[in-house]
Each structure stands twice: as C-alpha cells, then as structure tokens.
Amino acid sequence: MPTSQKATIANNSNSKRGFTLIEMGVVIFLIALFAAMVIPALAHWRAGQEYRDFPGKFLRFVGKAKLDAINQKQSRTIGYDATTDEFRMYWTDPQTQVDQEGGRLAIPAEMQLGRVERNGSDSAIQDWKVTFYQDGTAEDAGVEVRNQDQYVTLIVDRLGNIKESTDPLPEQSDVRWSAGENETRSQ
C-alpha cells in the first residue's frame, strides 16, 4: 500500500466526531416526550394499585387490632377520623388514661365511606367504631367503603369474627333467622 493511502486511513481513524447541537436537541426532545407519556400513566397505575390493595390492607388492619387486644390483654378500638379520611386504631393507657395510637389506614382517594353500623343500628360516620376485647370478642359493627358501585364491606360480630365482602352492608331488616320471617337475628 502506498504511504499516502496509509496516511489518509490513519488520519480518518484518529478523527473524533461528537454530537451536534441539533442531534442533542432531538434526543432531549424525545426523552421529554417519552417522560410526558409515561409519568401520568405511572401515577394512574399507582392510584389504581392503592385501590386494589385496600381490601387486603383493611382486613389486616382490623385483624391486627384483634390480635393486639388478645396479645396485650387490653382492648383495641378502630374508629374513623373524618378530618384525615383514615381509620385509626387506638387504646387508652391504663396508667395515664391517655389515648395511644396503634396505626392508621387511609381510604384511597377514589373511594368513600358508605353506610356504617354499630351494635345493630345505623351509625353516624363520626361515631362509628369497633372495639376488640382481650378475650377476642368485639362490639357488633359493620362498615362499607365504596367506589361508585364497587364495595369493600367489613362486618365484625360479637364473637370477634371478621368477615369481608364485596357486597353492600346488609340492612339489619334483611338479616333473618332461618326459622322465621318475623324475628331479626342478633349478631
């Protein structure tokens, strides 16, 4: 190979080419466009995930209150805090007579509190609560959380049994003894 060709090949291989300002602008534009499409979709997915996770979290939260009452040999109460739209677990310290908090569970933004029952009767939302006692029994209570026509219903009976449903909270007049139509069942 002639020396002039070697010099040309060597000269071309040593030259370094960078991005032009236009190429950099196009890359930045494409990244921004991709981010503008993905970020809202991720935010929507996250909100949907909170909605899908809520029934299990709610059941575990109420179950934890029952277990804590049994294990700590002291009653635990779950009430609804309308100012923060959360369920709150608490108990009263026997030494200081001050309420202690055991945790909170927020209702997802897409959902709202529906009907609530306490001791067999409809209750005002701000008055709703369920208390678990150290022997595992509880106050009779029910609560429904809904999103349009989808429900997460939790019912606690006096034996401390916790039942979850995707149906609306049943009316007390709908709960009947199997032996007769005229008597309502006490739970």
Cα 38 from chain centroid (whole Å): 24
Considering the domain delimited by 34-174, tell me its CATH architecture.
3-Layer(bab) Sandwich (3.55)
50 pLDDT above the threshold of 90: no
Q: Which of the four pLDDT bands, split at 50, 70 and 90, describes residue 56?
A: confident
Average the pLDDT over 85-111 and give the result.
89
pLDDT at residue number 44: 66
Averaged pLDDT score across all residues of the chain: 81
Percent of the chain past pLDDT 90, that is, above it, reads 32
Q: Taking the domains of the chain in order of start, what are their residue ranges? A: 34-174
176 pLDDT above the threshold of 50: no
Which is higher by pLDDT, 138 or 15? 138
pLDDT at residue number 65: 94
114, 128 in Cβ contact below 8 A? no
pTM: 0.66
Mind spelling out the 3-state secondary structure of the chain?
CCHHHHHHHHHHHHCCCCCCHHHHHHHHHHHHHHHHHHHHHHHHHHHHHHHHHHHHHHHHHHHHHHHHHHHHCCCEEEEEECCCCEEEEEEECCCCCCEEEEEEEECCCCCEEEEEEECCEECCHHHCEEEECCCCCECCEEEEEEECCEEEEEEECCCCCEEEECCCCCCHHHCECCCCCCCECCC
Which is higher by pLDDT, 171 or 156? 156
Q: Which of the four pLDDT bands, split at 50, 70 and 90, describes residue 5?
A: low
Which is higher by pLDDT, 8 or 44? 44
